[in-house]
Amino acid sequence: MVESLETKEDRGRIQMVLMRKALVCRVIGAASGLLMAAGNMKGVLAPLQAIALIPIFYLGASRKARHRDMLSAGVYMGLGYILPQIVMLRFPIPVTLILLVHFTIMMIAL
């Protein structure tokens, strides 16, 4: 009986750790996407684009993140990259959706 309680607690802890890692990957992806977009909005901020790739490269090189977490980081990077630009340029909704899908796929493949 005691062993089953400990394993349930251990499973809960493991799930919490995995959820935190997934959240960190998503935040890193979104922040990288926003930094990439900042360089396109104002030319003075262009050096931030080089800095934006460092956390993504770290995630890929450290092997701490699962493939699913890396995929979600790429999705959030694509969304963080394209959404501010689309809002700034005020594209029509069909063009927005096409560009959103295109750039999200492009950022995942990066």
In whole angstroms, give the CA distance from residue 45 to residue 60. 25
In whole angstroms, give the CA distance from residue 33 to residue 77. 4
* pLDDT value for 6: 62
* pLDDT value for 22: 82
Query: Could you give the maximum distance between any two Cα atoms of the chain, in Å?
Result: 64
* pLDDT value for 4: 55
Element (H, E) at 61: helix 48-62
Question: Which domain covers residue 7, as residue numbers?
Answer: 2-109
Mean pLDDT by 10 residues, the chain (110 residues): 62 81 88 90 88 86 79 85 85 84 76
* pLDDT value for 34: 92
84 and 70 Cβ atoms separated by less than 8 Å: no
DSSP string for 12-26: HHHHHHHHHHHHHHH
Report the domain count for the chain. 1
91 and 99 Cβ atoms separated by less than 8 Å: yes
